[in-house]
Amino acid sequence: MTSSSPHPLIYNRYFISGLCPSALDIIRTIRDPEKPNTLEELEVVTESCVEVHEIGEDEYLVIIRFTPTVPHCSLATLIGLCLRIKLQRCLPFKHKLEIYISEGAHTTEEDINKQINDKERVAAAMENPNLREIVEQCVTEPD
């Protein structure tokens, strides 16, 4: 099955459906920063939000498109950061990672998409001890 993704890095590559459950399993247990629920329980992440494409020998592009619960969600950037940190730590294969808000799902999706895909901004955010603590609380697996 070939990809219908408009992503500019993907040319005649294959959608790797076998790796999608692995990525979803990693992010499904991330907790919402405000609620006691997981992102999966709130349908912020679903099976259809994960794409994995082969981009080289044993290297994959993982694309996550998440949907905040409301279009003006003030924590959408934090949720994107949690997704990025957990996937970076846990994906068992060489990868490039892109995280986006689902099209039309947030009032400032373009700005947030830029923030959560900018390595320098992500690194700076994780240097903030308060923010790092919140991310750790959200991504830590339940006992």
2 is a domain residue? no
39 is a domain residue? yes
5 is a domain residue? no
- C-alpha gyration radius of the chain: 15
12 is a domain residue? no
Q: Print the domain residue range for 23.
A: 17-139
Under 8 Å between Cβ of 76 and 84:
no
**Tokens 């408009």 map to which residue?**
6
1 is a domain residue? no
Q: Dump the DSSP string for the chain.
A: -B-----TT-SS-BB-GGGHHHHHHHHTTPBPSSSSSBTTTTTSS-GGGEEEEEEETTEEEEEEEE--SSTT-TTHHHHHHHHHHHHHHH-SSEEEEEEEEPTTSSTTHHHHHHHHT-HHHHHHHHHSHHHHHHHHHHHSPP-
**pLDDT band (50, 70, 90) for residue 21:** low
Mean pLDDT of 41-62: 91
Q: How many domains does the chain have?
A: 1
Per-residue pLDDT tens digits for 74-120: 999 999 999 999 999 998 888 999 999 999 999 999 999 999 999 99
32 is a domain residue? yes
**pLDDT band (50, 70, 90) for residue 17:** low
CATH number at residue 90: 3.30.300.130
**pLDDT at site 128:** 97
pLDDT, the chain, mean: 87
Helices 76-90, 119-127: crossing angle, 10 deg rounding = 100
Q: What is the pTM of this model?
A: 0.85
